[in-house]
Amino acid sequence: MQVLIIGAAGMIGRKVSEAIAKTGTLGDRPVTALKLADVVAPTAPAGFSGTVETLAVDIGDPATAPALIASRPDVVIILAAIVSGEAEADFDKGYRINLDGTRWLLDAIRTQGDGYCPRVVFSSSAAVFGRPFPDQISDDFHLTPLTSYGTQKAIGELLVSDYSRRGFLDGVSLRLPTICIRPGKPNLAASSFYSGILREPLAGLAAKLPVPTSTRHWFASPRAAVGFVLHAATMDTGPIGPNRALTMPGLSATVGDQIEALRRVAGDAAVALIEPAEDPAVAAIVGGWAQDFEAKRATDLGFKAEASFDEIIRIHIEDELGGSLG
């Protein structure tokens, strides 16, 4: 089978490509061709025996989608997006990539014809929801995006459900938790510290904590995120029902929970590297985010996340730090 990943140069895209390359399969089917696209050409994953094509493309160009879809990939994984902050700062760019880019892909699939009906995995976001929130958000909470990014993702979900209902494709939209521990360096995202307060101390580096330890949020590891995408690419979609958008399971935890898990896994010396440095701007943004989701539909459909931050930290040590600390 042929797999197309759009946004393959990003963290999750790279890890999904590597996971497919490693086994050479998706579910129980052999993958013969990987087509990896992003705004910069993705790196081909090592050890894959099939053909790999790496493409630098602009999905904001209407000609891109038909070119990507012409080879009729069996699975299309859409991870590419303008992130929240940039979609808010550049209205046109956010709508062009996140709405038009997605729709052109779905329409390129629809207009292929001849019975073509690939599995489509669309990465959505909890940003489709907006305050006020209940303590735990149920699967039938209303769509109330408070950002242009969240609006664009909500529209993408609605399109994926309608195109699936019409039989043009067989889609699953995944509302991903905040991914923790993100490998690499701190970035400008308001959520960056959630990874930083674990990643930096695990590497012997200091990290700033801009929010109170009581701050609660919703997490899954990069490994869980890859698992969500692979499961969505292979699952039986029969039982999903007409709403193809699923809130992924995750771990609801406070910053205090994160810190105590770090203490258990890496000791007091690691925790001592966390420096409280309250930043009211970050605290205000993060304080408005959802804290907990029921995620019953996704759990019933076989999606799995971590049950503790100890597990999330151990996964980081295994996958990013060679299996042990120092």
149 is catalytic: yes
Q: Which is nearer to its own copies, 73 or 130 (CB)?
A: 130
Give the total residue count for the chain: 326
What is the contact mask toward its own copies in residues 165 to 194, using x (rule: CB under 8 A)? xx----------------------------
Q: Which is nearer to its own copies, 116 or 141 (CB)?
A: 141
Footprint on residues 239-278 left by its own copies (CB under 8 A): 242-243
DSSP structural state of residue 137: B
CB of 265 to its own copies, least distance (A): 39
**Binding footprint of its own copies, residue count (CB under 8 A):** 22
Is 285 one of the binding residues for its own copies (CB under 8 A)? no
Footprint on residues 58-87 left by its own copies (CB under 8 A): none
Angle between helices 192-202 and 309-320 (to 10 degrees): 60
CA atoms of 164 and 128, how far apart (whole Å) = 20
Q: Check if the beta carbon of residue 320 is closer than 8 Å to that of residue 184.
A: no
Ordered DSSP codes for 14-81: HHHHHHHHHHSEETTEE--EEEEEESSPPPPPTT--SEEEEEE--TTSTTHHHHHHTT--SEEEE---
CA atoms of 68 and 72, how far apart (whole Å) = 8
Q: Which is nearer to its own copies, 26 or 82 (CB)?
A: 82
Applying CB under 8 A, the span of 48-56, 61-69, 154-162, 185-193 interacting with its own copies comes to 154-162
| Residue whose entry in the numeric block shows the structure tokens 């329409």 | 107
Is 98 one of the binding residues for its own copies (CB under 8 A)? no
Q: Check if the beta carbon of residue 82 is closer than 8 Å to that of residue 150.
A: no
CB of 95 to its own copies, least distance (A): 9
Phi, psi (rounded to 5 degrees) for 274: -85, 120
Q: Which is nearer to its own copies, 153 or 217 (CB)?
A: 153
**36, β-bridge pairs:** 5, 54
Compute the half-sphere exposure of residue 217: CA atoms within 13 Å on the CB side of its CA.
28
Is 215 one of the binding residues for its own copies (CB under 8 A)? no
Q: Which is nearer to its own copies, 92 or 268 (CB)?
A: 92
Is 40 one of the binding residues for its own copies (CB under 8 A)? no
Contacts of 221 (CB under 8 A, 6+ apart): 179, 180, 181, 305, 306, 311, 312, 315, 316
Footprint on residues 114-153 left by its own copies (CB under 8 A): 130, 140-146, 148, 151
Q: Which of 95, 149, 163, 194 is catalytic?
A: 149
Is 227 one of the binding residues for its own copies (CB under 8 A)? no
Q: Which residues bind its own copies (CB under 8 A)?
A: 91, 110, 130, 140-146, 148, 151, 154-155, 158-159, 161-162, 165-166, 242-243
Residues serving a catalytic function are 149
